[in-house]
Homo-oligomer: A and B are copies of this chain.
């Protein structure tokens, strides 16, 4: 009963993973650099691996507990499907594996990229970019492979139900697997974010400010931890984050696809389920093509290379637009070809607008960041006020882009029958469209931290000013593409959560039947649960905005996004303090560090960051897991929908604010370092450094974690819908 064209999806996954292996091999064949370079890289790799090992231990423990809970839910209380505990684990494994591959690649690539940069800028870029592509392709390949596997397994074993119901069961079950990716991503982002910023802030406060030694100086005990942090937060963290976005978006669309035709044509239903997966698969393959487009320009200047990067992305984007049109055409949806394709276009355009807006607000090429730099002239207070003001104003364009995109995708697809689910399916297809270029956009993202680390390696190995300049240039190129990447992650999170909200509502009916509720009283009539429409369910549970449970849920959701940020920001503050004390201790107790006569105890700093991160990431994660369960038990379905809507609407805006404030401060500092407002060493520069430090936990810890928080809360709600419905 699985149609033949389905097999294109695992085929694409295998092809993409094969290409990732090829790129990995290319990177490995590059010379690893001088002995000193290899030594430094080894320090960093060992630190990163030690961290990951520790992190995966904690994650394994939490996954174990959650899996037992899910198993109890499934086998003891019959409130969840029996496959969920297993697939929850494989989803988490896939995400962890992608992060691990990315970090393995990145840590091996840094000395090679530094060495390549010592030969030429272009050579450096090529090594870094190819290494970034390894993670980009691993993420999409592993995700596609994982759900292909489960789709086949579930289809094979769950054959007792009638076909239509079975497809709903399968897609809803698969959606709950995504909770594994969200949980893994939250740990990776929060833990990684705390690690990297504790090390960064700690290293800077003692090294740069107190001792007056430059960034990445090997005499600074925290410098290895700082470089380890880049790999953990920006490589492994981002990998897990985008794995989660990609996985969740495609599965949410598939689940809605199944619900669009619940009693209709099973063939149509299958098409609606597989369309987002096929778009994902096509996007993955076409990303490889885009990567080769970038690769062809071997001897170009750095500006041309940036343009070439952009060309690669644009090329992939246009190919995907054509491919998705072809997919919808070949699937032969009746009367929906242009509407669905329109949703893909809307998604890609909205993502592009959000990315460009981030760039506008955070790049020193434009007025906003220059205005922040200008305010550094009157000191740290005004630069911080300026950055917060700019960040808050910067929320307008992304929100409007999502708002307009949502409305267009919805009304284009709901059709003349005002079919809400069909409209929501349109929104979820827009999210898939936005993420379809992930393979290549992530390659351009991931090469940034690799270039950054290459710079650290060059500095510590004493490769000289020229090489450092080249790696800095590569890093700066990466910042531009990273802003776009963050925009895609935030925007797709909003669209996906809207789709998850819908999936949550559709999952309710199954839950009611599951707990033995056969009929309900609605408007004075006794109605069979199996015949309830979405509107009936909305009415029955009073999911409207005058229900105080909904309003109260909104308040709690909004408050939780602030509390979550507060916890992770405080965690960075505390962890940075421990780091400062440790670095001061080493300077005090190990004589000869400053004279290069003794080697600092790098491992101890890595250990401190590691244990802080592990300790501090638990409470924020518990909030995400427990709040939907508790709200569900106390306030029922309406409270949970309020909670998710509140977390989504506040968290989305808060995330943009924090990301863009942080970005504006970072680049205002860079702008001043390039010579504006008195340049390096001026009082404006000192003020800007303070702004940048404040922005670190904003943009690299709290901000990017919020997207995951929102989705994880939605996923948990879907998973425990049985409990919530029993308590409503």
* A residues in contact (CB < 8 Å) with B: 201, 205, 209, 375, 378-382, 384-386, 388-396, 399-400, 402-403, 406-407, 410-411, 420, 423-424, 427, 494, 498, 501-502, 505, 523, 534, 538-539, 543-552, 554-559, 562-563, 565-567, 569-570, 572-573, 576-577, 580, 641-642, 645-646, 648-650, 652-654, 657, 690, 693-694, 697
15 sampled A-B residue pairs with Cβ under 8 A: A205-B381, A378-B576, A381-B693, A384-B694, A385-B572, A388-B566, A388-B569, A388-B694, A389-B567, A392-B563, A399-B555, A557-B649, A558-B653, A562-B657, A690-B690
Residues in B whose Cβ lies below 8 Å from that of A545: 501, 543-545, 550, 641-642, 645
Residue of B546, B549, B563, B573 near A386 (CB, 8 A) is B573
Contacts of A562 in B (CB 8 A): 392, 395, 653-654, 657
- Find the B residue at minimum CB distance from A549: B407
- How distant is A672 from chain B, measured CB to nearest CB, in Å? 16
Contact B557–A690 (Cβ < 8 Å): no
* Residue in contact with A544 in the complex, picked from B494, B543, B549, CB distance below 8 Å: B543
* Residue in B378, B498, B570, B690 whose CB lies within 8 Å of A380: B690
Asked if A649 and B385 make an inter-chain contact with CB atoms under 8 angstroms apart, the answer reads no
**Contact, CB under 8 Å: B548 / A427:** yes
State the CA gap A407–B636 with chains docked (Å): 13
Contact across chains for B555 and A403 when beta carbons are under 8 A apart: yes
Instruction: Report yes or no: B645 in contact with A551, Cβ–Cβ below 8 A.
Output: yes
CA distance A158 to B286 in the complex (A): 71
Given A392-B563, A403-B556, A543-B544: A379 and B205 interface contact (C-beta under 8 Å): yes
In angstroms, Cα B209 to Cα A624, docked, is 45
Q: Are B554 and A645 in contact (CB under 8 A)?
A: yes
CB–CB B649/A406 < 8 A: no
Residue of B nearest to A638 (CB): B545
Residues of chain B within 8 A of A556, CB atoms compared: 399-400, 403
Among candidates B386, B552, B694, residue contacting A570 with C-beta atoms closer than 8 Å: B386
Inter-subunit contact B566/A392 (CB<8 Å)? yes
Give every chain B residue within 8 A of A381 (Cβ-Cβ): 201, 205, 380, 690, 693-694
Q: Which residues of B contact A388 (CB under 8 A)?
A: 566, 569, 694
Chain B positions within 8 Å of A580 at CB level? 378
Set of chain B residues within 8 Å of A569, measured between Cβ atoms: 385, 388-389, 392
User: Are B566 and A505 in contact, CB atoms less than 8 angstroms apart?
Assistant: no
- CB <8 Å contact, B392 and A576: no
Contact yes or no, A391 B566, CB < 8 A? yes
- Contact indicator A694/B543 (Cβ below 8 Å): no
Using known A-B contacts A410-B548, A543-B545, A555-B649, determine if residue A563 contacts B403 with beta carbons closer than 8 Å: no
Residues of B within 8 A of A693 (CB): 381-382, 385
Shortest beta-carbon distance from A47 to chain B in Å: 24
Given contacts A375-B573, A384-B384, A392-B563, are A403 and B552 in contact (CB under 8 A)? yes
Chain B residues with CB under 8 Å of A690's CB are 379-381, 384, 690
**CA of A281 to CA of B129 in the docked complex: distance in angstroms?**
72
Question: How far is B559's CA from A392's CA once the two chains are assembled, in angstroms?
Answer: 8
Which B residues are in CB contact (< 8 Å) with A657?
Answer: 562
State how many angstroms separate the Cβ of A491 from the closest Cβ of chain B: 12
Chain B residues, Cβ within 8 Å of A554: 645, 648-649
Contact A576:B382 (CB < 8 A) given known A501-B545, A546-B505, A566-B389: yes
A646 cross-chain contacts in B, Cβ below 8 A: 649
Please give the distance in Å from A666's CB to the nearest CB on chain B. 13
Kindly name the residue among A559, A566, A576 whose own CB sees the greatest number of chain B CB atoms within 10 A: A559
Query: Is B570 in contact with A393, judged by CB distance below 8 angstroms?
Result: yes
A694 contacts which chain B residues (CB < 8 A)?
A: 381, 384-385, 388
- Residues of chain B within 8 A of A567, CB atoms compared: 389, 393
Q: In the assembly, what is the distance between CA of A209 and CA of B538, in Å?
A: 60
Complex Cα distance, B545 from A641, in Å, reads 7
Asked whether, in the complex, the Cβ of A544 is within 8 Å of the Cβ of B546, the reply is no
Q: Specify which chain B residues have a CB less than 8 angstroms from the CB of A577 in the assembled complex.
A: 375, 378, 382
Cα–Cα, bound, A389→B565 (Å): 7
Chain B: minimal CB distance from A370 (Å): 14
Q: Which residues of B contact A501 (CB under 8 A)?
A: 545-546, 551
Q: Which of B391, B424, B549, B552 contacts A546 (CB 8 A)?
A: B424
A411 to B380, CA, bound (A): 50
Residue among A424, A523, A563 having the largest count of chain B Cβ atoms under 10 Å: A563
- A351→B20 CA distance, assembly (Å): 59
- A619 vs chain B, min Cβ distance (A): 11
Shortest CB-to-CB span from A707 to chain B, Å, is: 15
CA distance A269 to B547 in the complex (A): 23
Which residues on the B side are within 8 Å of A394 (C-beta)? 566
Decide yes or no: A544 and B538 within 8 Å by CB, A573-B382, A649-B558 being known contacts.
yes
CA distance A551 to B424 in the complex (A): 12
